[in-house]
Amino acid sequence: MIPVPAIILAAGASQRLGTPKQAVEWEGEALLHRAARVALEAGFSPVFVVVGAAEAVSRQALGTLPVEVVSNSDWAEGMGASIRVGVAALPARTSAVLLLVCDQRALNKDLLVEFARLHRQAPDRLIAAHYAGTRGVPALFPAHRFPELRSLSGDRGARCVLKGEGVLEVSFPGGELDVDSPGDLDHQPK
């Protein structure tokens, strides 16, 4: 099976945090670098990183990782714009895409390998992480769901697409622990 691409959303301004979260270090590694490294190690390829407000900081945080950086000039519109920009960058005939954010500290290779395994078993199914009683990212979207991703706007993200029947869920302990404010770094993932 052809590798599935990944899109990492990293265009936000991190206003509540007060510093670009893309470069915030967790366990000695920038959050954005960690998300991209984990996606690559899990076999997702190519990995696209959508940048915007802190583009220079994001590029520096990525270092020499073999990723494709995509600029989102409409980053202030919200996550919907970043998803649209990322989906537009996908190669022709892409069968599915993994959507990630850069600030989930509990993200790990085993979790993403499970997404890839489930996708091989059920290539037409939407697969979403399940944590804190809800579905969220990471989420793997088959190509027939791309029109929904292309129609997103504002800061809603893809959560509205993850509702409904037939979504396969992957348990993601600690998935709710993202970095939005300075105090978020004090809570340890389980």
Q: Is residue 116 part of a domain?
A: yes
What is the pLDDT at residue 173?
A: 95
Q: Which two tokens stand for residue 166?
A: 């037939």
Q: Is the dihedral of CA 175, 126, 7, 160 positive or negative?
A: negative
47 vs 56 pLDDT, higher one: 47
C-beta of residue 73 within 8 angstroms of C-beta of residue 52: yes
Residue 123 has pLDDT above 60, yes or no: yes
Mean pLDDT value of segment 39-56: 94
Q: Is residue 14 a contact partner of residue 54, using CB atoms and an 8 Å limit?
A: yes
Rounded to an integer, what distance in angstroms lies between the CA atom of residue 62 and that of residue 35?
10
In this prediction, residue 18 has a pLDDT band, given cuts at 50, 70 and 90, of low
Within a domain: 69: yes
For residue 58, the 8-state DSSP code is H
User: What are the tens digits of pLDDT across the range 76-96?
Assistant: 898 999 999 999 999 999 999
- Domain count along the chain: 1
Encoded tokens for 136 = 């969220």
Q: Is residue 120 part of a domain?
A: yes
77-91, 106-120, 174-188: least confident range = 174-188
Predicted pLDDT of residue 155? 78
Average pLDDT over residues 24-53: 92
> Looking at residues 2-15, what average pLDDT do you find?
83
HSE, CB side, 13 Å, CA atoms: give it for residue 50: 28
Q: What is the CATH number of the domain that holds 158?
A: 3.90.550.10
Give domain status of residue 1, yes or no.
Answer: no
Residue range of the domain that includes 16: 6-186
